[in-house]
Amino acid sequence: MELRHLTYFIAVAEEGNVTRAATRLGMKQPPLSQQLRALEAELGLALFERLPRGMALTPAGDVFLQEARAILRQSEQSVVRARLAASGQVGRLTLGVTTAAFLHRLVPEILGDYHRAHPAVTLDVREANASDLIEALTRGDLDAAFLRAPVTRPPLLVFEELLRERFVVALPKAHPVTARRVSLVDLRDEPFILVRRPSAPGMYAQVLQSCRAVGFEPAVAAEVGRMLTALGLVAAGLGISLVPKSVAALRPPGVRFAALIDQTAPWAPLTLAFRDGEKRPVVTDLLATTRSLTP
């Protein structure tokens, strides 16, 4: 049984007459009658009662009519959805983010614009550290990821740097240093709270290198898995931390921020990672949206 057989059956059922149905379908009456008999033979059911002046549905035919209409509707919807998927208008986008990347206003702005342009695309957003996101991208578990500094650069992935921003110092509100601009040298005796090396080795290494460039090795009092955790420990008075400037916009309670004046102060990149050669519209549209909004 093919979809055209259902179209023939529905036309005869609605017209109640084979001749009128044939005219409606743009075909001859004898072939249409032959197709109906073949359909009934395949189903093993009488779908019509043959009357002197037309055709009437049997009880089985009446049920089959409802099912046939539903099948044709579903078939039409499947074609429409397939075309939308081919154009990137429906589907699923599995996106990874690090906390530090998502705290920059650009990432929510990108996702908001993408969602408004693709309301039927399901966004599956997964938060993890940079190392885990890169591994997930390599395995194919993610379509793209927003992160800060790449941990590794597997050859199958592309890392597109969107922007860079300076680090700032996060201090407890009661800290004796009150200046709004400080040098790393002023912090040489402070306990540092850092996002641990396995989670964000790029930013971790930058902090160490910047401190060493002005002549000291930072005393690391604590390593944490998330930047927000580091800010919580700063608020508790356990030490200071270096974070990207955009994080200061959160204004966490118990924490204040100071700019770094050193030329060697670290930079925090914002990076979009995706697989090389990506051609799926749901992903390439995200890349286009990102590029259109990147300063």
DSSP string, 41-73: HHHTS--EEEETTEEEE-HHHHHHHHHHHHHHH
Contact between 273 and 159 under an 8 Å Cβ cutoff? The reply is yes
Q: What is the pLDDT of residues 160-208, one digit of tens each?
A: 999 999 999 999 999 998 889 999 999 999 999 998 766 556 778 888 8
**Which helix or strand (DSSP H or E) is residue 256 part of?**
strand 255-260
Residue 116: predicted pLDDT: 93
Parts of the chain with a pLDDT under 70: 77-90, 197-201
Fold of 164-268: D-Maltodextrin-Binding Protein; domain 2 (3.40.190)
Residue 178: predicted pLDDT: 84
Residue 96: predicted pLDDT: 97
Residue 74: predicted pLDDT: 83
* Chain position carrying tokens 């912090």: 187
Residue 78: predicted pLDDT: 65
Domain range list for the chain: 3-86, 90-161+269-293, 164-268
Asked, colleague to colleague, whether 3-86 and 164-268 share their fold, the answer is no
CA distance 247 to 76: 49
Q: Which CATH class is domain 3-86?
A: mainly alpha
Q: What angle do CA 169, 170, 175 make, to 5 degrees?
A: 105
Q: Which homologous superfamily does the CATH classification assign to the domain defined by 90-161+269-293?
A: Periplasmic binding protein-like II (3.40.190.10)
- pTM for the model: 0.66
**Which helix or strand (DSSP H or E) is residue 79 part of?**
helix 59-86
Residue 80: predicted pLDDT: 57
Q: What is the pLDDT of residues 199-244, one digit of tens each?
A: 556 778 888 889 999 999 999 999 998 888 999 999 999 999 999 9
User: How high does pLDDT run on average in the chain?
Assistant: 88
